[in-house]
Amino acid sequence: MTICEDVKNYSSIIRQLDDSIADRNVDIWVNNAGINIRSQAIEVTSEEMDQIIDINMKSSFFLAQAAAKRMKKQGGGKIINMSSVGGHVALRTGVVYAMTKSAIIQMTKNLAMEWGGDNILVNAIGPWYFPTALTEELLKDEQYVSDILDRTPLNRIGKLEELAGAAVFLASDASNYITGQTLFVDGGMTIYGF
């Protein structure tokens, strides 16, 4: 089941989850919403910070919490959070985005530790550049893409099926002994350095 709604209104999503599938298990939960406002740190406004934190961080936590409550009753499940390479390495702009994605990595570790005894596995995915709504305009800029490729050992932008493959792996039985980890799907970017 996919719930499409403004994730800032996570309490409504939780109610929808409870109402629509009250009699079914929640085996896999993926927190995949996110935004970025690419401002230099000196220009970030309080409103921008609140918006990014609400969508990238608060919604992920409270939706994971709601999923875990159901998973605990049913004997386990898997939660996959979407982080970013920006949660692991410094970015040129988007400091608040990076802060929230770093928080997702740490949240994933803490939730995995707290909920592991209930057989709830919590992992994250940390992508680099893929063709998404968040990157669409940036990837039209040839110089920007050239800079990205210079920092990517595989020398290309990721394909969406490669990102989906990471989620399928973390949702499958093949990952049943993996929890608290962030799988970077980044063409090697996080090993490259600057």
Which residues carry out catalysis? 97
Q: Put residue 31 in one of left, alpha, beta given phi > 0 → left and psi -120 to 50 → alpha.
A: beta
DSSP 35-77: ------GGG--HHHHHHHIIIIIIHHHHHHHHHHHHHHHHT-E
How far apart CA 13 and CA 3 sit, in angstroms, is 7
Phi, psi of 183 (to 5 degrees): -95, 110
